[in-house]
Amino acid sequence: MSHPPAAYQPKAGSILDVDTAFYDRLAERTDERKPVEEFVIPIRSGRAWEVPAGHLCRVITPEGPQVGDFNVWNRHNPRERLWAARTRQLQSAHVTRYDRLWSTLPYLRPLLTITNDTLESYGVDDDGGRVHDLLGSRCDPYVNRILSDEDFDFHCHSNLVRAVLPYGLTEFDVHDVLNIFQCTGLNDEDRYFMKASPAKPGDFFEFFAEQDLLCALSTCPAGDLSIPLWGPDARDPLEVCRPLAVEVYRPDAGLLEGWSPPPVASYAGLHGIDLPAWPTEGAE
């Protein structure tokens, strides 16, 4: 069965073109990078951290499959943050190596570029599932109350809220996520489904910071999603919850030759709004 072509097709030479050789160099020449930070995020919790422009960051499953709900902002301007919907359109609904996460209007530029992904070969499974999901959002206590009539304070939304408080951000700054290591798709009724994560111990998802970033990650309370959170078969999936590890690296300066942070979107119009005409001095 043939499908229509993608609606968003860039012209040659646009910012959507990716210098794959540059990102391959960053990914492959690991002996030319230095670790600057590493930590482990325990189960059912969250943490925020900074990744300076020109640095690499790796999210790892040290003990086996675990979904991580990821938010990202411009470190100096939290109004510029991940725009999940536009990223789905410019890249795809599931992302992997060479894909970028794009920021909100009026900035619309890459926040980061994915440089390495050990699950890249997963592709599409028999159910239509793919990994590293932008289709869904984060689990939250509000929808949990609707589906279960219970309160639970450690959904990904709440974990992210707590994580960003030290940076002066609030619940209003938490936004739609990239679900790292999560396998999802749409069923025959065009409804969202989730499957058990295919990640193994040591799998990782790595990205390059195109600008100074503030990142936040929640270790999802559903763990690897092999046990449903809601519905007739739901039960506490604590047994399939595992930590995630994060590593930040500074590549040697020579690897960054020719790279510079992307500029904001070039549109400079006023959306059809005319500026007011002020009277000139001395006019009657």
Q: pLDDT by residue (tens digit) across 158-196?
A: 999 999 999 999 999 999 999 999 999 999 999 999 999
Structure tokens at 44: 């059912």
Asked if residue 283 has pLDDT above 70, the reply is no
Segment 64-74 mean pLDDT: 98
Q: For 121, phi and psi rounded to 5 degrees?
A: -80, -5
pLDDT of residue 284: 57
Average pLDDT, the chain: 96
Residue in 48, 53, 82 with CA at minimum distance from that of residue 210: 53
Q: pLDDT by residue (tens digit) across 16-54?
A: 999 999 999 999 999 999 999 999 999 999 999 999 999
Are the beta carbons of 148 and 230 closer than 8 angstroms? yes
| Helix, strand, coil % over all residues of the chain, rounded to 5 | 20, 30, 50
- pTM of the entire predicted model: 0.95
pLDDT of residue 115: 98
Asked if residue 80 has pLDDT above 70, the reply is yes
Segment 226-239 mean pLDDT: 92
DSSP H or E run through 27 = helix 20-28
Segment 58-87 mean pLDDT: 98
Tell me 173's DSSP state: G
Angle at 88 between CA 165 and CA 171, to 5 degrees: 15
Asked if residue 132 has pLDDT above 80, the reply is yes
Asked if residue 276 has pLDDT above 80, the reply is yes
**Residue 250, helix vs strand vs coil:** strand
Asked if residue 1 has pLDDT above 80, the reply is no
Asked if residue 100 has pLDDT above 90, the reply is yes
Report domain extents, the chain: 35-256
Task: Detail the DSSP E strand segments found in 118-171.
Answer: 130-133
Q: pLDDT by residue (tens digit) across 197-215?
A: 999 999 999 999 999 999 9
pLDDT of residue 220: 98
Asked if residue 250 has pLDDT above 80, the reply is yes
**Residue 255, helix vs strand vs coil:** helix
Q: Is the dihedral of CA 76, 79, 84, 86 positive or negative?
A: negative
Are the beta carbons of 119 and 181 closer than 8 angstroms? yes
Are the beta carbons of 104 and 80 closer than 8 angstroms? yes
Distance CA 49, CA 201 (A): 23
Segment 95-122 mean pLDDT: 98
